[in-house]
Amino acid sequence: MTTEFDEKLNAIREKCLNCNKCPLGATKTKSVFSAGIPNSKIMLIGEAPGYYEDQKGEPFVGKAGQLLDKILASVGFSRERDIYICNTLKCRPPENRDPLPEEKAACREYLDAQLEILQPRIILLCGRIAATSFIDTNLGITKLRGKWYEGPYFSKMMPIFHPSYLLRNDSREKGSPKWLMWQDIKEIRRVYDMLE
């Protein structure tokens, strides 16, 4: 059965897939709208599609995505069952460069619509680009991560390290990025389990 909720999401997805509001619409292979289940209480927002995501039309399917799935699985979350995943940009920036402010502004309409339709209770801001799209700060992700912020629609938002950063920092010692991520994901699971 298609609900009003599905219809709204499909309409915005359709618009996004045909978008040419910024030049990335012409250079992408596929736009990458979302993965995971829409009726979830938790949404993860990454940066932008990379090479594999652009090919497949799905977020977080490359190496970083595989690590993300492992991190989620370590506390029993899976994208098939529990979580909705999207990005600040829906099209791949060439050579995976940082999104430009005008690209973020052009694409914001889609992210805002996803948030308005889904109204997740928990939002995970994955990496600096996602975090600073919602939190007005000059602080880096190392300072921002692991703390709860008030998010849209009365949600709780937490910035977390981007899995690409963890791939470049292999140590698991106490205080290392991987160790900190493990603390954060456990805290996220704890708060998720308290949701009604």
To the nearest whole angstrom, how small is the minimum distance from the Cβ of residue 124 to ligand URA?
12
Q: Report whether 162 contacts 64 (CB < 8 A).
A: yes
Please give the angle made by the CA atoms of 183, 170 and 81, to the nearest 5 degrees: 50
E strands, 63-187, are: 83-87, 122-126, 149-150, 156-160
To the nearest whole angstrom, how small is the minimum distance from the Cβ of residue 121 to ligand URA?
22
**Binding track over 80-109 against ligand URA, x by CB under 6 A:** -------x----------------------
To the nearest whole angstrom, how small is the minimum distance from the Cβ of residue 64 to ligand URA?
5
Q: Report whether 82 contacts 124 (CB < 8 A).
A: no
Q: Which of 47, 54, 103, 184 binds ligand URA (CB under 6 A)?
A: 47
Strand partners, 84: 36, 43
Q: Which of 25, 36, 59, 177 binds ligand URA (CB under 6 A)?
A: 59
DSSP code at position 152: G
Q: Which residues bind ligand URA (CB under 6 A)?
A: 46-50, 53, 59-60, 64-65, 87
